[in-house]
Structure 1
Amino acid sequence: MISFLTLEGKRALITSGTRGAGAATVKLFQDLGARVLTTARTRPPEMPEAQFVTADLTTPEGCVAVAEAVNSRLGGVDVVVHMLGGSSAPVGGYQALDDAEWQKEIDLNLMPAVRLDRALLPEIEARGSGVLIHVTSIQNQLPLPEATTAYAAAKAALSTYSKSLSKQVSPKGVRVVRVSPGWIETESSMELSRRLAAEHKVGVEQGKQMIMDSLGGVPIGRPSKPEEIANLIAFIASDRAGTITGTEYVIDGGTVPTA
């Protein structure tokens, strides 16, 4: 008998679920039967209020508000997907990164996951079942020195944190898995293309090619679609992946070279 993938009955928190891969993940989880709560700084008009928490996850207060909403609206959580991430750092390599820029990258790409996990994990551990999915980046292996040094370092820290956490909580029935995307065709990746183009006084298409070249090329010839990232995350969150923990899944069109 064919058994279709389902998330029926799962309660899920998906951060940064209003655009790009986050929005695609929210939609797929709902289509597969999950009850989903998502969060960002601003609620889009099309997003139902009952499914959304307005919060700034770069602050401790924002993380507290989201954790409280998870408990009050969902009565706990079975799957946490940490999608939040990105970079607003200026181009120019290490010299463009002062302490404030470094702190912004850490506050956006590492600390929300640390704080939300700390708030939500005790209940998950007590129940003995749950999944944490940390979305990292291939830039922890292939950073772009001109533009994303601090972002890449923060994502590398997230990956190390995730691996350590998996060793602690997997024996208690909680799976912790990393998803490491390469270039995704999203609003934020296009913004990076525009920033690089402006810095080098070239067109946006050339800015996109600069990203491709910096990564050593994408063998399949295109970036990943947000829906493709969502497909992988949904599988990991499902009971079909019941023995998968402590590992990292790279989804990058073959960008990262392997021996």
Structure 2
Amino acid sequence: MNNKQNQTTDLTGKRALVTGGTKGIGKAIADELARAGAQVIVSARNHPGDGNTEHYFIAADLTKPEQVTKMGQEIMEQFQGIDILINNVGGLTTPPGGFSTLTDEHWESELQLNLLSAIRLDKILLPQMIEQQSGVIIHISSVSGRQPLWNLNMAYAVSKAALNSYSKALATELATKGIRVLTVSPGATKTPPMEKFIQDYATSTGINIEEAFKQLLAQTGGIPMGRMAEPEEVASLVHFLVSPSAAYLTGTNYAIDGGSLPVV
């Protein structure tokens, strides 16, 4: 069989939704997909208000089921569905310190933001993908899901590990329906939330930012490449994975971490 026609990263005519798409990794992904020809929709809790997005914008808090439903309805009305879904919404919202510092509310918050938001949105948009027998879903996870740090990100890491497992199960279920599901797990990436995390750690430990960054890297075993990723580097990987060139890839978790994970 000749598959040469599938060897392209052009996305002309594809409809793509990027959640959390107004800043950081999400914005880089949205911009990358648009440059490849996709019609891009982005969502966030609030509009950036600074002209920071050129894409169709939907305001939605994806931890609220009713707002996920409303967003799904708007997408169906305006675009008749999507071809590419990037579940990028997520973040570390809980305090450091291990199990004794984490309340039920902390655990619930991390699971809502990092796991259930993606599950809800998938459920809303998948019927249309199944009907057209094509589509790609990318779950943006984290290397923390495979390398949790008990004193820094326990609940976040657990929620991302759950997202990894869900993504794999969904990929298996949908493989015969023309839909691919993949996970991308960035390591330390140069984004505003990462910079704030380092700043907060420095403040809480009474050290400067440079030393805080060194200590955080030491806990993870360091980054062999010696630097954080740029958001655009994560976006390039996502672009390839959603493209026809990756047509035989599904169910895999791709770490993009400069070699930091100490496992094969």
Q: 2:197 aligns with which of 184, 192, 201?
A: 192
- Deviating runs (4+, > 6 A) in structure 1? none
The 3-state SS of whatever aligns with 1:56 is: coil
The 3-state SS of whatever aligns with 1:256 is: coil
Find the aligned partners of 2:126 and 2:107 in 1 and give their Cα distance. 27
Aligned to 2:128: 123
Find the aligned partners of 1:72 and 1:48 in 2 and give their Cα distance. 21
Aligned to 1:243: 248
Task: State the TM-score, normalized to the length of structure 1.
Answer: 0.96
Moved more, 158-167 or 192-201: 192-201
Q: How does 1:9-88 map to 2 (within 5 A)?
A: 9-45=13-49, 46-47=51-52, 51-88=56-93
Aligned to 2:160: 155
Contact 2:191 2:231 in 1 (8 A): yes
| Shift of residue 70, structure 1, vs aligned partner | 1.5
- Indicate the RMSD between aligned Cα atoms, in angstroms: 1.6
Contact 1:15 1:82 in 2 (8 A): yes
The 3-state SS of whatever aligns with 2:137 is: strand
Aligned to 2:172: 167
Aligned to 1:132: 137
Find the aligned partners of 1:121 and 1:100 in 2 and give their Cα distance. 30
Q: 1:214 aligns with which of 198, 206, 219?
A: 219
Contact 1:13 1:70 in 2 (8 A): no
The 3-state SS of whatever aligns with 1:147 is: helix
AA in 2 matched with 1:41: R
AA in 2 matched with 1:55: A
| Shift of residue 4, structure 1, vs aligned partner | 5.6
Find the aligned partners of 2:148 and 2:195 in 1 and give their Cα distance. 17
* Cα distance per residue 1:19-62 (max 9 Å; x no partner): 11100001111111100111001112315687100111111122
Find the aligned partners of 2:208 and 2:156 in 1 and give their Cα distance. 24
Find the aligned partners of 2:8 and 2:85 in 1 and give their Cα distance. 22
Residues 256 and 22 (structure 1), Cα distance of their counterparts in 2 relative to 1, 3 Å cut: same
Find the aligned partners of 1:73 and 1:139 in 2 and give their Cα distance. 36
Residues 173 and 212 (structure 1), Cα distance of their counterparts in 2 relative to 1, 3 Å cut: same
Q: Which runs of 5+ in 1 are unaligned?
A: none
Residues 20 and 113 (structure 1), Cα distance of their counterparts in 2 relative to 1, 3 Å cut: same
AA in 1 matched with 2:203: A
Q: Which runs of 5+ in 2 are unaligned?
A: none
AA in 2 matched with 1:174: I
Aligned to 1:95: 100
Find the aligned partners of 2:9 and 2:126 in 1 and give their Cα distance. 25
AA in 1 matched with 2:41: L
Find the aligned partners of 1:79 and 1:34 in 2 and give their Cα distance. 9
Residues 122 and 95 (structure 1), Cα distance of their counterparts in 2 relative to 1, 3 Å cut: same
Find the aligned partners of 2:33 and 2:22 in 1 and give their Cα distance. 14
Total equivalences in the alignment: 259
Task: State the TM-score, normalized to the length of structure 2.
Answer: 0.94
Contact 2:15 2:40 in 1 (8 A): yes
* Cα distance per residue 1:85-113 (max 9 Å; x no partner): 11111122111100001111011100111
AA in 1 matched with 2:115: L
AA in 1 matched with 2:37: G
Q: Does 1:182 align with 2:182?
A: no
Identity %: 38
Contact 2:22 2:53 in 1 (8 A): no
